Amino acid sequence: MKRYHVTTFGCQMNQHDSERMKGMLESLGYAEAGAPAEADLILFNTCSIREKADERFVAHLEQAKGLKRADPQRIIGVGGCWAQSVKEDVFRRFPYVDVAFGPGQVHKLAEFLTSDSLTAQGFFEFGGFTGHLPAKRARDLQGWVQISVGCNMNCSYCIVPSTRGREVSRPLVELVAEVERMAADGVREVTLLGQNVNAYGRDLRPQRTSFAELLGALDGISGLDRVRYTSPHPKDMREDVVLAHVQLPTVCEHVHLPLQAGSSRILKAMRRTYTRERYLDRVALIREHVPDAALTTDVIVGFPGESEEDFVQTLGVCEEVGFDGAFTFIYSPRRGTEAATFTEGLVPHEVAVERMERLVEVVQRRARQRAQRFVGRELEVLVEGPSRTDPARLRGRTRHNKVVNFDGVAAPGDLVGVTIVAATSQTLTGEMSLVAAAAAR
């Protein structure tokens, strides 16, 4: 039997694409190998969001080159956003690569593997949802659902629109059927994936569908306890979506709302299409209806033209909102993007690093403070397994998407009540309530 190995870089969408790649390969009769050295087919599912992502992948590819030299029968494949962004250039730069394909062409990998072709091939059309391929889920209880591909936004720093194409939504009935199948298979929690999930459905014909309608349609699925989604765009965060968090029991009390910058001037240069005020207004809307909701975000520091005053405004928003967590990034110029052509007000790396440190201080302090609201409360926790830090304890996740390490006896998949006794910026610690434990059985 032939064996494959997939190394995945990048976001949850890429992780999910890899599940589909694996499912497809297994339907072709391949089995998963524990390491690249044991595989006949070595695949990389790549990311290009920042320069570091590129560098990391190239180092891995160098290792694969050695393995290919040892056994020239081996096939090396490169998929994902980096492959899409360099296209045929991949074969010039890395002549030992046999097949390359973009995120919309994963299905072509099967065609390549079942053909007799000995020449390297690249597939870079947009089109085709990986969501249509069989999946090999990485996790038993939690599943990803690709609700749309591509992005119609034009953020000036971002490579994604060029690697994933225009936005295309999958029909609602198809998504409901997919989630029904997952729930029947034991999945308790799904995360809906898209570059801009709340723009979902506007392109659907004959009938447009809204993201809130999709949430409503998934809510009734038997056996499904929780629905999450990532990422919504602040410009499309409307009241119907916020109200879904209140009205639909499955929709979790967590919103990841990417801020990127707290200065309206920088937001404009980023082409984010909202201002600082509009962002804060969205936060107020969420807090009005779902006061306890966890809010997380993404922030970029060191964007071209970002002055000290602009940066202080970003700090101000983080201070004011008090996010439950944030992913923070130093701006990285990406090939083909508008911002990569900016020449004025470039922020020296040391300045960006210094700003990053100040940002992280605010983010962590506020997250720690925010987390204290959970202490003393009993929260619903979906048990995932043993704690990573102490296997004698259990690990699970709250509806707010906080990891909880706790004492108790429960099986993965149980929903239990855990009383929180301590909280850091990242994790909660607690004890399982006995009453809730009995009810879970």
Of the pair 30, 303, the CB lying nearest ligand SF4 is at 303
DSSP H helices, 124-238, are 160-164, 172-184, 211-219
Is residue 50 at the binding interface for ligand SAH, with CB under 6 A as the rule? Answer: yes
Q: 88: left (phi > 0), else alpha (psi -120 to 50), else beta? A: alpha
Nearer Cβ to ligand F3S, position 164 or 355? Answer: 164
Please report whether residue 267 would count as binding ligand SF4 according to CB under 6 A.
Answer: no
CB under 6 A: which stretch of 22-30, 105-113, 154-162, 245-253 binds ligand SF4? 154-162
- Judged by CB under 6 A, does residue 160 bind ligand SF4? yes
Q: Angle formed by the axes of helices 172-184 and 211-219, to 10°?
A: 30
CA–CA gap between residue 409 and residue 142 (Å, rounded): 20
Using rule CB under 6 A, residue 157 touches ligand SAH: yes
Binding mask 180-219 for ligand SAH (x = CB under 6 A): ---------------xx-----------------------
**149 contacts ligand F3S (rule: CB under 6 A):** no
Nearer to ligand SF4, 153 or 290 (CB): 153
Question: Encoding tokens for residue 366?
Answer: 């506020």
| Nearest residue (CB) to ligand F3S, 20 versus 164 | 164
State the minimum distance, in angstroms, from the CB of residue 76 to ligand F3S.
19
In sequence order, what are the beta bridge partners of 381? 398, 416
Structure tokens at 360: 């992280």
158 binds ligand SF4 (CB under 6 A): yes
Concatenate the DSSP letters of all residues of 9-23 into one string.
Answer: -SSHHHHHHHHHHHH
The single residue among 174, 203, 281, 298 that binds ligand SAH, judged by CB under 6 A, is 298
List the single partner that 50 binds among ligand SAH, ligand SF4, ligand F3S, none, CB under 5 to 8 Å by kind.
Answer: ligand SAH
> Which stretch, 95-103, 128-136, 157-165, 310-318, contacts ligand SAH (CB under 6 A)?
157-165
- Using the rule CB under 6 A, is 259 a contact of ligand SAH? no
Contact 138, 384 (CB under 8 A): no
Q: Are strands 378-386 and 415-423 parallel, antiparallel or unpaired?
A: antiparallel
Shorter beta-carbon distance to ligand SF4: residue 245 or 272: 272
Q: How many CB atoms lie within 10 A of CB 74?
A: 18
Residue selected from 14, 18, 209, 231 as contacting ligand F3S according to rule CB under 6 A:
14
Question: Which is nearest to 70 in space by CA: 45, 44, 96?
Answer: 96
DSSP 205: S
329 is a site residue for ligand SAH (CB under 6 A): yes
Q: How many CB atoms lie within 10 A of CB 140?
A: 14
User: What does the alpha-carbon distance between residue 122 and residue 97 come to, in Å, rounded to a whole number?
Assistant: 10
CB 226 within 8 A of CB 415: no
What value, to the nearest 5°, has the Cα angle with vertex 406 and ends 427 and 369? 30
**CB-based contact 142:183 (threshold 8 Å):** no
Phi/psi-derived region of residue 186, left when phi > 0, alpha when psi is between -120 and 50, beta in every other case: left
- Determine the interface stretch with ligand SAH among 108-116, 155-163, 184-192, 416-424 (rule: CB under 6 A): 155-163
Cβ-proximal residue to ligand F3S, closest one: 10
Task: Choose which of 4, 124, 211, 331 interacts with ligand SAH (CB under 6 A).
Answer: 331
Site for ligand SF4 in 421-440 (CB under 6 A): none
- Residue from 6, 49, 259, 267 in contact with ligand F3S (CB under 6 A): 49
Q: What are phi and psi of 20, to 5 degrees?
A: -70, -40
Q: How far apart are CA 132 and CA 148, in angstroms?
A: 12
Q: Residue 107 corresponds to which amino acid?
A: H
User: Count residues contacting ligand SAH (CB under 6 A)?
Assistant: 17
Toward ligand SAH, which CB reaches closer, 18 or 156?
156
Among residues 39, 42, 29, the alpha carbon closest in space to that of 3 is found at 39
Q: How far is the CB of 251 from ligand SAH (least distance, A)?
A: 19
Q: How far is the CB of 9 from ligand F3S (least distance, A)?
A: 7
With contacts defined by CB under 6 A, name the span among 82-90, 147-155, 343-351, 431-439 that binds ligand SF4: 147-155
Among 99, 151, 290, 299, binds ligand SF4 (CB under 6 A): 151
Please list the residues that pair with 423 across neighbouring strands: 428
| Interface contacts to ligand SAH, rule CB under 6 A | 49-50, 157-158, 160, 195-196, 231, 233, 258, 260, 298, 300, 329, 331-332, 334
